Amino acid sequence: MTARRWREGLTVLAFLLPVLVVFAAFRFLPMLGAAGLSLTDYRPGGDFEFVGAENYASLAQDDVFLASLRTTLTYVAIYVPLIVVVALSTALLLHSVPWGRGLFRAALFAPYVTSLVLSGVIWKWVFEPAGFLEHPSTVLPALAVVGVWKGFGYAMLILLAGIRNVPADCLEAATVDGANAWQRFRHMLLPSLRPAVFFVVVVETIGAFQVFDTIYVMTTGGPARASYSLAYAVYEYGFKNFEIGKAAAAGLVLWAIVLLVSLTQRRAFERNP
């Protein structure tokens, strides 16, 4: 029996090994490379000069970087609740549609497969007459709207799958017992949707922290750096200022923040069943 389990384990490992190699090559090795670069003062065409934690100390005193952190946190606070509400509301409405669900599902999912650059160009034309992108107080909500329009289709499908897993008999029994729509949602649907909601919240939070494309196309960080995100700061450090070490340090700081926020969200969901 032991030999059989060893053979089964080796067979599984043989199938997984190519995927693990690719994952390590494109995930772990770049991360290790970025960690090494963050400790240097490397510039393209120059020599590697080890500077230790100097890049991190520089970021801590960099007003532009700290402002980009505040901007990113503000964007996340706007975007994540908005996309969860929109995706959940749309999933509930789509679940109640008696016919044509496949057609509506495809139409609502279409923006998700649209190019981010193309979406940014189209929405820039939409916002230009009203000037939403020209005022610091409205630029982040405007960008969040674009992000929600682009991404809610994926979250909607995840939540719709969770809704369809709720037994219809239980909902019908609750209706017969006198439970209204809000009570059925609050006490039956929402608890069953916790895993799906948690997944959507974590995935969309990670995406919000990494927002770059729409900013690059629509605002280039303006006006007055009001939409200057952490990802955009990493881009400018690395590809405009050619401060590769500082860009790598900023990228690792962004990674650490995303990891910390994701773990916090997990604990919050576990503590509030």
* Mean residue pLDDT across the chain: 87
168 domain-assigned: yes
Average pLDDT estimate for 74-102: 90
14 domain-assigned: no
CATH of the domain at 195: 1.10.3720.10
pLDDT in tens, 51-66: 889 999 999 999 999 9
pLDDT in tens, 247-268: 999 999 999 999 999 999 988 8
15 domain-assigned: no
117 domain-assigned: yes
Residue 219 has pLDDT above 70, yes or no: yes
Structural domain harbouring 190: 54-271
Distances (CA, A) of 257 to 34, 155, 245: 16, 23, 18
262 domain-assigned: yes
154 domain-assigned: yes
**How far separated are the first and last CA of the chain, in Å rounded?**
41
User: Tell me, what's the pLDDT at 18?
Assistant: 85
Residue 240 has pLDDT above 60, yes or no: yes
Q: How many domains does the chain have?
A: 1
202 domain-assigned: yes
Cβ 223 vs Cβ 236: under 8 Å: no
Percent of the chain with pLDDT over 70: 94
126 domain-assigned: yes
Is this model's pTM higher than 0.85 or not? yes
User: Tell me, what's the pLDDT at 78?
Assistant: 97
Work out the pLDDT band at 10, boundaries 50, 70, 90: confident
